[in-house]
Amino acid sequence: MAISEYLESRKNIAGSVCGLVGLGMTFTGVAGPYWPVVVAGLYGAGALIAPPERPPLPDFPDPSAQLEELRGDFDKLGGYLAEVELPPAAAGRLTELTELLGALLDPGWSGELLAQDPEGVHTLSRTVRQDVPEAVDTFVRTRWWTRLAPGQESPERHLERQLTLLQEEAERLAAGLRETEARRQESHTRYLEDRAN
């Protein structure tokens, strides 16, 4: 710890206050000839009983900064998905999902709402960075093995089901954002009505 940091620390401040009490005792004659020991002892006692310094909180990016990173990752995901060959039904379901995700990640009003919803940002982040790539990659790998051992459940059905579940999750998030805006509008209406009365 640097000297300037120690001078501003809680330990030094508490010790200095207790040392001033010791000086006060000296001037009133209570400390007697041992005043230097009393002042130093009180300073040391104050420094020992002072609460410890709190380390500064880590500087994590706020949700709007996380959304910017997520938009970049969504663009990367789009590049990956463009290279993957999917059956028509799964490709259609994936297109619907990515359009919804793109709308949610739009920097406009939905981005402003998402910036106030860390859970929503987390849900989108998990969908873009983990769930969609994992679903598509697993399909691609499983499809190859299914050709070697036919007769098992179709990987296309699994992929379609996974994409449907992800779409439903994204739709719930969109519905929650829409509901937040509706409540905000209702609150503003009530405020204006109360102000008019």
Confidence of residue 161 (pLDDT cuts 50, 70, 90): very high
pLDDT at 23: 85
pLDDT tens profile 47-89: 888 887 777 778 777 777 788 899 999 999 999 999 999 999 9
* Pick from 60, 85, 59: nearest CA to 140: 85
- Give just the sign of the alpha carbon dihedral 174, 75, 157, 126: negative
Q: Strand, helix or coil at 31?
A: coil
Q: How far apart are the first and last CA of the chain?
A: 61
